[in-house]
Chain A
Amino acid sequence: GNSVTQMEGPVTLSEEAFLTINCTYTATGYPSLFWYVQYPGEGLQLLLKATKADDKGSNKGFEATYRKETTSFHLEKGSVQVSDSAVYFCALRYSGNTPLVFGKGTRLSVIA
């Protein structure tokens, strides 16, 4: 079946450090890929998405590129801030009427 695997956390970084959170997926065909972010006490918010191979999604300084050859969608940011501390979820979806399949989430803590 379809699945998403994320690197285990927690990840702790100093402010202005470079961030990578790995995400790989197992699926047949070409799903749409998403990154969601969850701040403490809140629901999930869409961070970025990509719908086909080599697409790059970007938002708020975060980027992720849809790599079909490696079935990956790694999240990156060049310089993290304390306000980026949150849980990040990678997810995939095949069709508009089917649910998202989520990874288990990666907790990021950024210290000043």
Chain B
Amino acid sequence: NAGVTQTPKFQVLKTGQSMTLQCAQDMNHNSMYWYRQDPGMGLRLIYYSASEGTTDKGEVPNGYNVSRLNKREFSLRLESAAPSQTSVYFCASSEGGQPNSPLHFGNGTRLTVT
């Protein structure tokens, strides 16, 4: 059982380049999330999808777009990367429906923008 799988694990971009971070879960979860983790800032929510077909902005959505491709997959796109987007990105999923249903995290994508 793979859980939440993120690709790639590492990426280096130049300012202005674009890329898509991929995330897939095999737990039949309804909800999916993208967070970024920066030193001293904890985890900040970028976007989330409460269910297939819906997406909502989180705390720091500027510079990002998302697509909930199907129930399994939730991608994050950087259209024009900036150095401020250097971070570790985590995808997560949860069953949804109950407030005590935990999030399951992938192992992260470490992105550097030069």
Contacts and interface: CB of A to CB of B under 8 A. Distances in A.
A96 B41 CA distance: 24
A25 to B, nearest CB: 13
Contact of A99 (B33, B42, B104, B108): B33
Contact of B105 (A44, A51, A99): A44
Interface residues of B, number: 31
A96 B106 contact: no
A14 to B, nearest CB: 26
Interface string A8-39: 00000000000000000000000110100000
Which interface class (under 10, 10 to 19, 20 to 34, 35 or more) fits A?
20 to 34
B40 interface: yes
Contacts of B99: 31-32, 51, 93-96, 98
Nearest to B44: A102
